[in-house]
Structure 1
Amino acid sequence: MANVLVDLDVESLAPEVHKEDKPDFSSTRKLYSYVKKRTFAAFVASKKCPPTCENASPALWLCCGQSFKEPSSIHKHVSNSHASEIHLLTSETLDVMLRQAHSEDSMEELSDESTDVLSWIPDTSHVQEDDLIKGPGEVLLYYCYCRLNDPQMICQWQKELCSKFHMTGKVRVATEGINGTVGGTKTATNLYVKAMLSHPSFKIMQVQDFKKSEGGAECFSDLKVGVYKEIVPMGVDPDILSYRLAGIHLEPEEFHKEVKAFVENQSSISDTILLDCRNFYESKIGQFDQCLAPDIRKFSYFPDYVENNLDLFRDKKVLMYCTGGIRCERGSAYLRSKNICKEVYQLKGGIHKYLEQFPDGFYRGKLFVFDERYAIAFNEDIISECRYCSCPWDQYQLCSTDFCCQLVLSCATCRERGLTACCPACQAKEQNHSDVSSDGLPRREECECTMSRPRIPKDTL
C-alpha cells in the first residue's frame, strides 16, 4: 500500500505536525502528508552545512556539489533531484506505521461500514419543519477525496439526509470520495454540513471546504445521488491516475500574487501559463486575465487536449484553476503525469474561494455554476456578448428547441424577436417543429454550433 502513497508534493502539505500530535490514521491524506513532510524535512536538514564547514560561498546547504542560500532553492532542488530517495524513505516509514496501525484501523473501518444508515441522520426534533422549507436559502458546493469502502451505503445516507432536510441537488459518490452541490434553507444546509463533518468517513473535511452562495432548493429541479467510478468525470480510471498526484495547492492569497506577477510581467515570464481547465461555455462568461481557456465542451476531453498540446506545456510553470477545485485535482495530476511541466500549481478552493477574498481581483465576469442559476456574480463586469446582436450579455438560458441541451447567450431584445435558439439550425428546427422522429421518439442531435467546434482544439500561445 505504501508504494502508491508517496507521490505527494511537499509544498501542498498541511502545516507541520508536532511530536506531541498523534497523526490521524483514519484520514489517509493526513497520514501521507505527515510522513512525507517529516521525511522531506529530515533530508533537507541532513544537507545543512555544519558550523565548521569551509566553503567559498556563504551557503547554508550543500547538495550534489551545489550550494544553496535560500530555503526555497534547496527545497526545489530536493524535490526535483532526490524524489526517488524521498519516495523510498517515505515508503519504508509508511510500511512501519501502517503495520502498527493496521489492527486498530481495521476495527474502525469495520465499525463504520456496519453502522446503520439512519444512525448518521441527525436528530431534528428541535427544528421547526417550516425552517427546513421556508426562509433564506443557500447552495453548497464541496468535494472530499477519501477512501469509501461502501459507496452504496454513503449514497443511501445522502439520499436520506437530503430528503429529511428537504434539499435538492447533485451528489456523486465513489470509492475515491464524494462530490456534491446541494441547495436548501440555511437551517437545512447548516444541519447538512454538521452531519457531513460528524461522519467518520469525512473527518478530513472542515467547514471552509463547503463553498456557499445565495440560492436554495429551487436552484435544482430535483435530487440526484448516485455511485460512479469517478467523483469528477474525466474519463481516466482513478486507480490508474490518482488525485494524490495533484499539483501544488495555492491558497487564494498565494494564487493572487502569482497571477499578479504573471499579468504585470507577462513579457518577461513567458515560461508561465495561466490555465483554465473548465469548459468553453464556463470560461466564456468569466475568466482570469490573460488565461489560456481550452475550447473544449466537456472535462472528459481535457486529457486528449493535453495530449494534443504537449509542446504548449513543455518546460512551463502552470497555474491551474477551476470552479471549486475538484477538476484541478485530477487535471493537474494528469498534466504532471506527462512529466513535461516545470511546475504545476492549482488554486485551492477554486474560483469560488478566490472571489470570496478578491471580488475585484484578476478574475472578471460571472462564475458559471451547474444548477438552474447558471451563473453567480461577484463583480459587475460582463465579458461575453449576445450571440445575435453582440451586445454585452452573460445570462445563459437553454436553447428553446426541444431536446437540445445547449446553452445560449441571447439578450432580452433578441429574445423578444424570437431569437432564442443556440444556432440557426436549431432556430429552423423550432420553426418547423421537427424535433420528433418518424417513430415518435424525441430526436437529440448535435446542433450546428457544436458540430462546427473542434472536439480537441490545437492551441498556441
Structure 2
Amino acid sequence: MMDGDDLGERVLTHPDLESLNPAIDKHEKQDKSEFPTTRKCYSYIKKKTFATFVASKRIPTSNLDTLSLWHCCDEAFSDPSSIHKHVSIVHANEIDELTSEALDQMLKQANADGSVRDHPNDCPTKDASSWMPDTSHFSEDELSKGPGEVILYYCYCQIKEPRFICDWQNELCSKLHLTGKVRVATEGINGTVGGTKTATSLYIKAMLAHPIFQVMQEEDFKTSEGGAECFPDLKVGVYKEIVPMGVDPDIISYRLAGTHLEPEEFHREVQSLLKDGSSNSDTILLDCRNFYESKIGQFKNCLAPDIRKFSYFPDYVDKNLDLFRNKKVLMYCTGGIRCERGSAYLRSKNVCKEVYQLKGGIHKYLEQFPDGFYRGKLFVFDERYSVSFNSDIISDCRYCGSPWDQYQLCSTDFCCQLVLSCTSCRQKGLTACCSVCQAKRQMPSGSPSSGRVQKEECDCTRSRPRIPKDTL
C-alpha cells in the first residue's frame, strides 16, 4: 500500500514526457520546442495523476479474499465509481498539488533535456505577416464567395502582449474576408468568425501554426452552417477577460475549473440523473447561460437561472449557495468557455461535492447526440440567433402562446431585447418585447420624446429580478 507522499514521489520520478504533452504528440514531425502549460495540458496531467492515485489504492490480487478491490482512508471499495467519488471528494487538494508538482517537474526535465526553447510568447509576434497563410493560389472570389460556415473556438493560454495578437487577428481576418468577433486577453483568446469554407479552413490552419496556439487541435474549432453574412462586421479587441464574467482572472483562474466530461460521459451522467428522477437527487444539471438562451433550448430537468448576463452568474452563485451545498454539479454552456470560469467560481466557494463541465459545450454534444437529452435550438451570438439540431420547439410566442422559437430584435429602436413573436402576431403589429416598448413604438414620429436618446428600459428588465433566488 502507498500513501500520498509515496505516490507523489512515484508520479514525479518517472514522468512520461511524450504521453503527457499532447502538443508534442500532435506535432511530432516538428521541432519539439513547445511545452505549453495551458489548461488542456494541465487537465490531461491531472487525469493521469488521478488514475495513478486510484491505482495506488488497489488491493494486490493475492489479497483478494473479499469483494473489496480498493482500500483508502480505512474504507473498502468494491466498484470504480465509489473509489473515484471518494478520491474526488476527500483527496481533491492532494490531487491538485500532485498535478502541479508533476507539471513543474516535467518542465524542469524537458528544459534539462534541451527539448524546450523559450516560451512561445517570446517569439517575434510583433510582425503579423510572419503568421499569415499563403493565399497566392486562391482567387479573391474563392476567399469571399461560395459555401460558408461559422466557427466558434477559445483557447486559454498566456499571452504576454495581447495587442500584437489583436493586430494579427485583424490582419488575418481581413485578408480572408472573415467577419465576426474576437476577444484577446492575457489569459487567452475567444472568437467566432464567419466566411467561406476555404477562408475558415485557412484561418484554422493559421491558428494551429502560431506558436502561442499550437496547443489547440482542429477539433477545438466548432463549425455550423453560415458565413460572413452572419455578422455585420469584424470586431477584434483586447479585454481583461476573454469571457465577461466580471471577476478578475488573476483571482479566479480557469485553472481552477471543474472536471471536463466528454460528450459521451456527460450523456451518461444526464441519463443516470433522469433515470433516478430529479426529486431528492444529489446532482444538479446547471445551465450557466442567459435566460433567453435556455428559453429556446436546454437539457431536460436542468436548472436554468433567470439571469440576463453571464456577469450576473457570480452573484447568482453567491445568493444560491445553499442550493449547491453538498451537491454534484454538471455544468454546460454553448461552447464550453463560460463553464471554464463559471465552474472555477463555483469551486472556489467550497460547497459542492463535485463540479463537472461538458467539454466543448452543447455544440459538441449535439454533434454526437442530435436526438439526445438537449431539446430545442442552440442560441448563437450572431444574426442567425439560433441553430437547429433537432425539430423540437420548447418555447412559445409571447403574445398568443403558440409554439415559436425564432428570435427577432424588439421593433423599438432603443431596445436591445429579443422577442419571440410568431408570424401571425407580427402581421398584427405585435413586434415589441413588452407593452411599454409596444406603446413607445406606436408614438407618432413628431412626438417630443421620439427625438430623445432613450434608455434600454422596459417591462422586461424592470420586472425581472437581477439576481433570482432559486429552489429545486
> Structure 1 length as normaliser, TM-score?
0.89
Q: CA deviation at 1:237?
A: 0.8
Please tell me whether the aligned partners of residues 154 and 189 of structure 2 are also in contact (alpha carbons under 8 angstroms). yes
Give the secondary structure class of the aligned counterpart of 1:284: helix
For residues 422 and 84 of structure 1, the distance between their equivalents in structure 2, rounded to whole angstroms, comes to 48
Letter in structure 1 aligned against 2:224: S
For residues 197 and 222 of structure 1, the distance between their equivalents in structure 2, rounded to whole angstroms, comes to 24
Deviates more, 1:23-32 or 1:330-339: 23-32
For residues 163 and 404 of structure 1, the distance between their equivalents in structure 2, rounded to whole angstroms, comes to 31
Structure 2 match to 1:215:
226
Does the alignment pair 1:76 with 2:70?
no
Deviates more, 1:92-101 or 1:114-123: 92-101
Residues 34/432 of structure 1: CA separation in 2 closer, same or farther (3 Å cut):
closer
Please tell me whether the aligned partners of residues 113 and 149 of structure 1 are also in contact (alpha carbons under 8 angstroms). no
Does the alignment pair 1:151 with 2:162?
yes
Residues 93/277 of structure 1: CA separation in 2 closer, same or farther (3 Å cut):
closer
Please tell me whether the aligned partners of residues 180 and 233 of structure 2 are also in contact (alpha carbons under 8 angstroms). yes
For residues 172 and 376 of structure 1, the distance between their equivalents in structure 2, rounded to whole angstroms, comes to 22
Alignment map for 1:35-434 (pairs within 5 Å): 35-50=45-60, 53=63, 57-101=66-110, 107-109=118-120, 111-114=122-125, 116-267=127-278, 270-433=281-444
Letter in structure 2 aligned against 1:60: L
Give the secondary structure class of the aligned counterpart of 1:28: coil
For residues 225 and 99 of structure 2, the distance between their equivalents in structure 1, rounded to whole angstroms, comes to 44
* Structure 2 unmatched runs, 5+: 1-14, 25-33
For residues 88 and 278 of structure 1, the distance between their equivalents in structure 2, rounded to whole angstroms, comes to 31
Give the secondary structure class of the aligned counterpart of 2:399: coil
* Structure 1 unmatched runs, 5+: 1-16
Q: CA deviation at 1:72?
A: 3.5
Once the two structures are superposed, what CA deviation does each residue of 1:322-346 show, in whole Å capped at 9, x if it has no partner? 1111111111111111111122111
Please tell me whether the aligned partners of residues 151 and 175 of structure 1 are also in contact (alpha carbons under 8 angstroms). yes
Once the two structures are superposed, what CA deviation does each residue of 1:29-61 show, in whole Å capped at 9, x if it has no partner? 3553455445444443443334564x8634333
Aligned pairs, number: 444
Q: CA deviation at 1:239?
A: 0.6
Give the secondary structure class of the aligned counterpart of 1:335: helix
Deviates more, 1:355-364 or 1:59-68: 59-68
Give the secondary structure class of the aligned counterpart of 1:171: strand
For residues 91 and 244 of structure 2, the distance between their equivalents in structure 1, rounded to whole angstroms, comes to 33
Residues 272/110 of structure 1: CA separation in 2 closer, same or farther (3 Å cut):
closer
Deviates more, 1:440-449 or 1:333-342: 440-449
Residues 217/320 of structure 1: CA separation in 2 closer, same or farther (3 Å cut):
same
Please tell me whether the aligned partners of residues 125 and 165 of structure 2 are also in contact (alpha carbons under 8 angstroms). no
Q: CA deviation at 1:433?
A: 4.9
Letter in structure 1 aligned against 2:85: K
Once the two structures are superposed, what CA deviation does each residue of 1:117-151 show, in whole Å capped at 9, x if it has no partner? 11111110011110111111111111111111111
For residues 296 and 98 of structure 2, the distance between their equivalents in structure 1, rounded to whole angstroms, comes to 47
Q: CA deviation at 1:289?
A: 1.3
Give the secondary structure class of the aligned counterpart of 1:172: strand
Residues 436/321 of structure 1: CA separation in 2 closer, same or farther (3 Å cut):
farther
1:28 to 30, 33, 37: 37
Once the two structures are superposed, what CA deviation does each residue of 1:381-400 show, in whole Å capped at 9, x if it has no partner? 11111111111111111111
Please tell me whether the aligned partners of residues 139 and 214 of structure 1 are also in contact (alpha carbons under 8 angstroms). yes
Letter in structure 2 aligned against 1:64: C
Please tell me whether the aligned partners of residues 267 and 373 of structure 2 are also in contact (alpha carbons under 8 angstroms). yes
Residues 460/422 of structure 1: CA separation in 2 closer, same or farther (3 Å cut):
same
Q: CA deviation at 1:260?
A: 1.7
Residues 437/185 of structure 1: CA separation in 2 closer, same or farther (3 Å cut):
farther
Give the secondary structure class of the aligned counterpart of 2:355: strand
Q: CA deviation at 1:77?
A: 2.4
Structure 1 match to 2:10:
none
For residues 335 and 41 of structure 2, the distance between their equivalents in structure 1, rounded to whole angstroms, comes to 24
Letter in structure 2 aligned against 1:392: P
For residues 51 and 421 of structure 1, the distance between their equivalents in structure 2, rounded to whole angstroms, comes to 70
* Alpha-carbon RMSD: 2.5
Residues 346/165 of structure 1: CA separation in 2 closer, same or farther (3 Å cut):
same
